[in-house]
Amino acid sequence: MAAALPPFWSLVEAHGDELLVHARKLAGEQHAEDVLQEAFLRALRAYPRLRHARHLRAWLYRITTTTAFDLHRVRRREVVTDEPPTVPVEDDHDDGGFEALIAPLPEAARTALILRFVEDLDYDAIGASLDCSPVAARQRVSTAVRSLRERLPS
């Protein structure tokens, strides 16, 4: 079997709080907990199939992001449209959903999100990579998350 994966709950305890903040930014206070619960359940479904235990935090951020968008689509469909439901499966570390989600963003935003949530870099390293300070790096990621949020049609 795969490399030793940590007990799943240790990820919930270590990263749950910050993931809830992320879910709030994307889905709003009202839906944040629903998004996060669904994201953790999707992560559990995929967890035993992971081939390594690296960058699990970034992986959870990506799942939370795609889940926020999927649940938003479901809610909209219930209200106004009749698009067919999409049932995404996070098969592995390379969940295509996240990349597709950020594809329409401006390049600067996309780069910031990839460095943070795919490459799993901290703000020091992102700053080094973008040739700016860690504070500025944090700001760029935060701006990028906001532009992602704006793509959620209201």
Partner 1 sequence: MTPLSDRFLESLAAAAVHDGLADAVFTRLSTPIGRLLVVQGAEGVVRVGFEEEPEDRLLADVAAGVGPRIVASDRELATTRDALSAYLEGDSDSLALPVDLRLARAPFRREVLETLHREVGRGATISYGALASRSGHPRAARAVGTACARNPVPLVVPCHRVLPSTGGVGSYGGGVARKVALLELEGVLPRRLPSTG
- Judged by beta carbon, residue 40 or residue 69, the one nearer partner 1 is 40
Q: CA 96, 129, 149, 18 torsion: positive or negative?
A: positive
Please pick, from the candidates 4, 79, 80, 103, the single residue that binds partner 1 as defined by CB under 8 A: 4
Question: Could you tell me the smallest distance in angstroms from the CB atom of residue 150 to partner 1?
Answer: 23
Check residue 105 for interaction with partner 1 (CB under 8 A): no
Contact characters 38-77, partner 1, x per CB under 8 A: --xx--xx-xx-----------------------------
Contact 127, 133 (CB under 8 A): yes
57 or 76: CB nearest partner 1: 57
57: CB partners within 8 A, 6+ apart: 11, 14, 15, 120
Residue 33 touches partner 1, criterion: CB under 8 A: yes
Q: What span, in angstroms and rounded, lies between the C-alpha atoms of 114 and 112?
A: 6
Instruction: Tell me the closest approach of the beta carbon of residue 61 to partner 1, in angstroms.
Output: 15
Instruction: State whether residue 60 is helix, strand or coil.
Output: helix
| Residue 123 is a binding residue for partner 1 (CB under 8 A) | no
Q: Binding of partner 1 at residue 142 (CB under 8 A)?
A: no
Angstrom distance (rounded) from CA 144 to CA 125:
17
Interaction of residue 151 with partner 1, rule CB under 8 A: no
Measured CA to CA, the distance from residue 53 to residue 55 in angstroms comes to 7
